[in-house]
Amino acid sequence: MELQTTEVKQIATQLLSGMLANPHVYPMVSDESGRGQREQDLIIAAIEMAESLITKVEKNNKDN
């Protein structure tokens, strides 16, 4: 379980950095200096995407 937690954190960090760097997804820092609702929404989305990717890979590995 610890390995999956580490994987989720790593993948979520990479996804989040990509989203933050994309001006179409994230045009500017909010008034809360990076701690606002917009940033929190992106963090949650990155975590959910990372968990989904890991679940799909694990399911795919079990099927093969």
Residue range(s) defining the domain that contains residue 43: 2-63
CB contact at 8 A, 38 and 30: yes
Q: In this predicted structure, what is the pLDDT of residue 14?
A: 93
Decide: helix, strand or coil at residue 46: helix
Distance CA 13, CA 6 (A): 11
Report pLDDT digits (tens) over 2-46: 677 888 889 999 998 888 888 787 777 666 666 778 888 888 889
Question: Which token pair is 43?
Answer: 């963090």
In the chain, the number of structural domains is 1
Is residue 1 very low, low, confident or very high in pLDDT (cuts 50, 70, 90)? low
User: What ranges in the chain are assigned the alpha helix state H?
Assistant: 2-21, 37-63
